[in-house]
Structure 1
Amino acid sequence: MYQPQPRRRDRRPSRRVPPEAVRRRASPLTAAGADVVLVGYFSAKQKDFEAVMASAVAELAARGARVVVQIVQRRGVSDGGARKMGLPYSSRTLLSHGKVREVALACDRAEADAVIFVASLTGRQQRALTAMLGRPAVGLADILAAG
């Protein structure tokens, strides 16, 4: 008779932030008066990414936010990146680990209030990025819908 083995517990230290701490840190989805970091994630096939970023800056400015830093991650642009296009991106954070560190450093230097992603974020991505960056991380669509 088959008996399933007990699940092994992951022994890595947990970086999980309690949900109440994330809720406390997260602000309402209003951009008025906030200093924000704008992050775009684009494939190499999308040639008009600069226009998309400029449009996002204009939309945020119309809602009273001030974009203090813009960061773009383009996937598949370099030879090394083109080879990695077949590999899955991080569904947990949308960005690569190095780019998340770059965004966190830019947020700290600019003393940003929030991070706004041009791409839509899932609830899991929002929670993970909010915990990693130490400030609310939301998608641009959420800001535009709330405004």
Structure 2
Amino acid sequence: MHQPRRRDRRPVRRVHSKPAQHRAFQLTAEGADVVLVGYFSAKQKDFETLMASAARKLAARGARVVVQIVQRRGVSAGGARKMGLPYSSRTLLSYGKVREVAQACDRANADAAIFVSSLTERQQRTLTGMLDRPAVSLSSVLTAN
């Protein structure tokens, strides 16, 4: 006789489709109000220059930077050991900083959050869901025509 089949307890992987409004933003930043987010280690002393440069590049594309937020890693003694690593592999930033970005986006009624650092697809999906607006990396906006 056959033994009864046991249910597989592994979680099911679901593929989430991206909403059309999120894909549309990746094509152009023209006329959009954006929140610019930077993630830098304490070793990066010229982060303010990098943020200003990113804001100029976005302005040249027609976007308007309404808020700039910076997350620094390794400024405290405890974080110095982990300076090269993101705070979270899911979001790149700490969760408190993600909440701060979400509040800034809501207050400024921003169309998107643009990250100076490159984002993985998973980080992009997670941040887009948490912020309720597209979260994209600066490099993807600058390479899109």
Tell me which interval the TM-score lies in, with the shorter structure as reference length.
Answer: 0.7 to 0.9
Determine the C-alpha separation between the residues in 2 that align with 1:142 and 1:32. Answer: 14
Q: Which residue of 1 aligns with 2:19?
A: 23
Structure 2: runs of 5+ lacking an equivalent: 1-7
Determine the C-alpha separation between the residues in 2 that align with 1:145 and 1:65. Answer: 14
Structure 1: runs of 5+ lacking an equivalent: 1-5, 10-15
**Do structure 1's residue 138 and structure 2's residue 140 form an aligned pair?**
no
- Give runs of ≥4 in structure 1 deviating > 6 Å: none
Q: CA deviation at 1:8?
A: 6.1
Q: What percentage of residue pairs aligned between the two structures are identical? A: 74
Cα gap change, 1:142 to 1:87, in 2 (>3 Å)? closer
Alignment of 1:119-130 (within 5 A): 119-130=117-128
**Do structure 1's residue 108 and structure 2's residue 106 form an aligned pair?**
yes
Determine the C-alpha separation between the residues in 2 that align with 1:72 and 1:139. Answer: 14
Kindly provide the CA deviation profile for residues 109-146 of structure 1, in whole angstroms up to 9, marking residues without a partner as x. 00000000000111111100000000000000000100
Q: Which residue of 2 aligns with 1:3?
A: none
Cα gap change, 1:87 to 1:7, in 2 (>3 Å)? farther
Q: Which residue of 1 aligns with 2:4?
A: none
Determine the C-alpha separation between the residues in 2 that align with 1:121 and 1:77. Answer: 22
Q: CA deviation at 1:105?
A: 0.4
Alignment of 1:1-147 (within 5 A): 7=9, 19-20=16-17, 22-26=18-22, 27-29=24-26, 30-82=28-80, 85=83, 89-147=87-145
Kindly provide the CA deviation profile for residues 4-60 of structure 1, in whole angstroms up to 9, marking residues without a partner as x. xx6466xxxxxx9x834x423413321100000000000000001011000000000
Cα gap change, 1:45 to 1:141, in 2 (>3 Å)? same
Structure number, greater radius of gyration: 2
TM (norm. structure 2) is 0.84
Determine the C-alpha separation between the residues in 1 that align with 2:16 and 2:9. Answer: 25
TM (norm. structure 1) is 0.82
Determine the C-alpha separation between the residues in 2 that align with 1:48 and 1:145. Answer: 24
RMSD: 2.4
For 1:42, the aligned partner's letter is: F
